[in-house]
Chain A
């Protein structure tokens, strides 16, 4: 029993002791070959080492390739050395530490480049079959990053032994990616390309694009290699470019630039004359050309190509795009594959654009929904609406100063922002707006006064630099469907928030007493008052509600935009446009308006992605034209209710 227990303990402490000696044994047996290796003979030894299954084999091979495998001069024993201070720390081939030695005490084995290549290949196979999945994954990543022809064979060898299905899939995909680039057989490469179909992976496009890369060549006869197409100067490439190619290929002399001509003329300036012309007359290009021609005739300056010579040179030469990849079958297959991919990418981009548009529309909807209440339902133009959004965002910022937990702070900030802006809205309604009902233009100006005052106060309190409003960690990152289509979680959250608001608004207006009274007061205040409704109170509450929603929208917008005192200003015009375009007085109109404006802006940005400013310009132009067609917006109230 004790013996068994001891054996078990030994097994636990020293797993697979037999294997641990395996690498050392192989090295010992092939010592002569290893000390004086040659490319032709060493192959089997490296292969045997790599296949030994000994954990030390990897270290031995790496050390050998790095010239760290040493022979101790005193006893001829072989060690793995590692520089440690001035001396070398030695490790025996079975992995046990073997003390230190001075660098003069040992001889390094120095395999030549060919042998090192063989070792590297073996090492790749070794790490690809490493028992640790993390190392296998790292090896795959390093091959994918820097694909070489040498990696192909070890990779193929490592597929069969792979047990992890995910890693196996990755290996197979990488194997095909390497095959299509490096396999010597055309059929294998074409098959590999076609096996991908219209795969959207960026790695595939990265592998295919070098296959169809071309270089531009000028030559008198068709050049050797895989020609993509012949180019005609003037249509396929400009004549200047064509001539530059000729110059670069040494087939034609360089053309004279204005600067060179000027320098040449200046260099031959004698007594106020150049080439027989007085300097004062050289104020046109034609005169300078005449002077230069005169200098050419006298041999003072080199001949420059004239227009006629350029034309003749271009006529004599032919221009080609030549593939770097010599095999036409492969380039054809790669082109076809890229074509398939482009079509699919186009569809996916459209889907991605749709998602982008949807999220932009939700943002506009969020910013505008408060206005849909104060402006759409009550008819009050509130230019300070943008400042309510800003106040909401700052409320979120202040809450985060006191509550460090981001999730909790956002949950506190949402109702608090509502409360703060509700209070601000009610105050403003009581003090200013109620005196100006029926005077929309005066309301506009008075609320503008409030807007600049509030904005300046916020600036004075919080400063001009942007304040952070951080979203909870679970809102970081994005939901990716593939390499093209993705949407960030924060945008999904805003979309959901917009839906919640829509539902809330519908519920409030259609299902509650308050909604009923609001509709009554906005349609006929006198009648509503005679039915016992207090219009003052309803107006106050409605305005407060619209302002409060703006505050909540502010928290949401602050999560992805910079929180500055000008945050609201960026949204105010768009919000008004959203309500007007959608149709005043209808929440569905506001939704439609937000969808249209958001969608349109994304589509315009798609055509000119570098320029979001232009997109906004064209969008506003479109809106001005749209109002020509539908002056009352997308969803127009008709008949007498429209207040004709």
Chain B
């Protein structure tokens, strides 16, 4: 299986502090992967590097069937190449309606000229309605995103990600601040999404990770500490030391 995203030998440091240290990571085209690690392990920096927000000092990051290097692309170009990112805190456009939020995310040409002449087709409208219903916001299309509840914003953001139709989805702590029922629904959705595309979930909550039932990568001090099933990595002595002994 050729990898969709390959990160190899990446190092990045801020003012001498090595946030990522010779990190190597790969994920296939339709795979669900959880990344766990203590605070400061470099999880967020890892996502920043993949999405182009942070430039690594060395190493390579390639993506897609043609193995395009992401290091020369801007954030927007990377997003257009097919990498979607969900932030830890829900970030939707609060002054715009649910419909407008979804329209923004809908897969379409992104250049100013194209957007200027863009007109919504019936298929676009149907897709927006479907996505909204899928995340339980079907009756709230005309409401401003700013007055949704925290959980609803999370859902809206996930729907926006789906509307982008990315090949790879980076999800940062999706379960944070959700009720138990919402978590279960999220789990189902993520597992479902991972059938057609790659999903990387960064998570603290072990129960949530266990429910995802997927391969786990443990990060520590900017490098991969262990990789395998959750049961496998939790038996690893170094992981135990990091999490229990010092963490």
Interface of A with B (CB < 8 Å)?
Answer: 638-640
Contact = CB atoms under 8 A, between A and B. Distances in A.
B113 interface: no
A455 B14 CA distance: 45
B15 interface: yes
6 contacts: A638-B14, A638-B15, A639-B14, A639-B15, A639-B17, A640-B14
Interface string B1-27: 000000000000011010000000000
B53 to A, nearest CB: 9
A346 to B, nearest CB: 44
B238 to A, nearest CB: 28
A640 B17 CA distance: 11
Nearest to A641: B15
A514 B15 CA distance: 28
Contacts of B17: 639
Nearest to A637: B15
Give the interface SS of chain B, mostly helix, strand, loop or mixed: strand
A498 to B, nearest CB: 30
A639 B14 CA distance: 5
Nearest to A640: B14
Nearest to B17: A639
A640 B14 CA distance: 8
A639 B17 CA distance: 10
A465 to B, nearest CB: 50
A417 B15 CA distance: 42
Contacts of A638: 14-15
A639 B12 CA distance: 12
Contacts of B15: 638-639
B225 to A, nearest CB: 24
Closest 6 CB pairs of A and B: A639-B14, A639-B15, A638-B15, A640-B14, A638-B14, A639-B17
Nearest to A638: B15
A638 B14 CA distance: 8
Interface in B177-191: none
Contacts of A640: 14
Contacts of A639: 14-15, 17
A30 B99 CA distance: 125
B41 to A, nearest CB: 16
Contacts of B14: 638-640
B45 to A, nearest CB: 11
A640 B44 CA distance: 13
Interface in B181-224: none
A640 B13 CA distance: 11
A551 B214 CA distance: 66
A638 B15 CA distance: 7
A639 B13 CA distance: 9
Nearest to B14: A639
A639 B16 CA distance: 10
Nearest to B54: A644
B48 to A, nearest CB: 10
A97 B17 CA distance: 101
A641 to B, nearest CB: 9
A638 B12 CA distance: 14
A638 B17 CA distance: 12
Nearest to B16: A639
B74 to A, nearest CB: 15
A636 to B, nearest CB: 11
Interface string B82-93: 000000000000
A355 to B, nearest CB: 37
A177 B245 CA distance: 92
A285 B117 CA distance: 56
